[in-house]
Each structure stands twice: as C-alpha cells, then as structure tokens.
Structure 1
Amino acid sequence: MASFARSSLLRQTLAAPRSPFCKNVGVSQTVAFHASAKKQILPPLPQSVQGTMNDPAPVPETHPTHGSYHWSFERLVSVGLIPLTIAPFAAGSLNPVMDAVLCSLIVAHSHIGFQAAIVDYFPPQRVPKFRSLCNWLLRAFTLTTAVGLYEFETNDVGITEALRRMWTA
C-alpha cells in the first residue's frame, strides 16, 4: 500500500503543471513531504539498565563550587549589574574603575549564561565530544571578548562614554 501511494504521488508531482487558479495547488507536494521517512538527528541514548530496576540512582560527588556558592555567585553578578548599568548615566560620572567592573561583570554574566545553556542542552552521555567543543569555544569567545573590552577601555573612550555618545548623537 505504501509503495502504491508513493508511486502515485510521484506521478502527480512530476505531472504537467496545473493552472494557478486550481483549487488544490501544492497538495501533492505537501503529502509527499509528510510521507517521507523520519530522520534522527542524534543517535538514541543507550537503553540498558545497570543493576536492577529497584536500585537507587547514583548520587554525584558534592562540590561547593557547583552548589550553593555557584548559585550565590550567579545571583550576585546578576544583581550587581543593575546598579552598574544605571549609575554612570544617572550620576554623570565616567570612572574607568566603574567601567572595568561593569565590563568584567558583563563578561562573567554572559559566560555563566552560555555555560548553563551548554550544560542544559548537551548532555555528556549523548554528545560528549560536541559538549567539550562547545565548552572550549565558549572559553575562547569569553577570552576574546574580555581582551576586546580591555582594549576598548584602555585605548578608546570606554563603554559608558561610548553609550553616552550614541545616546546623545
């Protein structure tokens, strides 16, 4: 039945083009698309049970940098960005130390956010090499961004002055 349907759809698709005012234009192409086989992007995870079904799940080693300290540092960086983005424009002072702290927190906040996305979407059981590649790319881009912002702060006007000039332009 499936081969019969496919051959008739193929004939309909390759048939002479219909009038543009025809009621069912493009229906055969849509049906042919939906009749295609499903393609797996990632291989399926291994489906084996280690031990018995009643064994508890293994608990990973605890480490303070991956627990509450890490969470507290993330929140501190996020909350610290709020006054640092408002203060230079509200107070009117353009301090290079404040610019340096703002740039450092922006880089740290971005790194933590992208690292969380890598941890969430690329499990090490499924794609270990790709996850490692993503982590190294993240480190390289973070370092490049930090060096670029340092150069912008030391050899140019700085980030808050640049934003102020763009705002008043």
Structure 2
Amino acid sequence: MKTLQDYCLSHTDDEFNVLVALVLSTGLRRGDILGLDLHRDGKYYVLEVRRSISPISDDTKLKTKGSKRSITIPKKLFDLVTSIPPKESGYIFNWSNFKQAEMLRKLLISLNITPTTFHGLRDTHASFLFANNMRLDYVSKRLGHDSILTTEKYYLDLMPEKKDEQDDEAMNLLENL
C-alpha cells in the first residue's frame, strides 16, 4: 500500500495516479470516485459521494443507501484533486473509456506489486484501517455499507489475525477478572 501510495503521490502529473491515491485513501468504489464532489467543511477536507458513474448505464444511482456519504481526506490529497481541471462532463476525473482496471494492472506490474482490482484497493484501505485499530462502525460508514454486519462479515473473514488478537485480549481480560 505504501509503495503504491508513494509512487502515485510523487507522479501526480498523471491524473490516474491521483485517482489511485484517492482510492487507497478512501476505499471508494471506482464509479464513486469518477462521480465525486469535493468541498472544505471547517477543518476537514471532504469528498461527497452522491452519484456513481458506470460503464454500462447512464444511471448515476449509488449502490446502496449507505453509499451516499461524506469522507474526509488529507489536505495534500484534497489540494491535488482540486488542482485537476474539471472535464467537459463536469466531473473531475477522465473516465478513460472505463479502462481504469487495465491501467491499474499495468501500474501495479510496473511497480512489481501483485496485480489487484479497484475493489482490491478498497479492501486494502479497509484492512489498513482495521490493522490500525479503527472501529468497525467507522470503517463501515467510510465504505458506505448499509449495515455494520456487511463490513463485519466480509472484512473479519479477510483478517483472521484480528479475531485471534481479540480472542487473546478477551482471554486475558477474563483470566485477570
């Protein structure tokens, strides 16, 4: 994650790299990134997810009710994204004929990183937050899940070491009652 993020943030002349850095920092779905809006809200720099762009439909409806959300991002990333001139469509990022998956694969191979998908980057974002002890409800909202159970079911299966860590902590608490 760090290798990819560092590369993307040091090669911002290509807006695709900014898009990838944004996915790593937010866990947004590809369509959500393509349709996002940005603003400053007091001390926070915020992405607004209100629509999703699809390669197979003109419908910009979001995947779930929970998908409509605001996500904070670092100022440096906010400044990079807002420096990209809006396209004729009014959106920030070029849709690149929806070739982002292919572009991501080439980028990862060039960096000697095991290829993954945009959803894989979303999983990486969530796993990074969990590995750094972010609360399940926070990660769930950030990902736009309608239910915390969706997040729990999917990501706890991906991170069995967290379950073991929690079991160890629980047993320690119970043994020291």
Higher relative contact order (CA 8 A, sep 6+): 2
Q: Which of the two has higher C-alpha Rg?
A: 1
Question: Normalising TM by the smaller chain, what interval?
Answer: under 0.3
The structure with the greater share of residues assigned to strand is: 2
**TM-score, normalised relative to structure 1:** 0.21
TM-score (norm 2): 0.20
Q: Which has the higher helix share?
A: 1
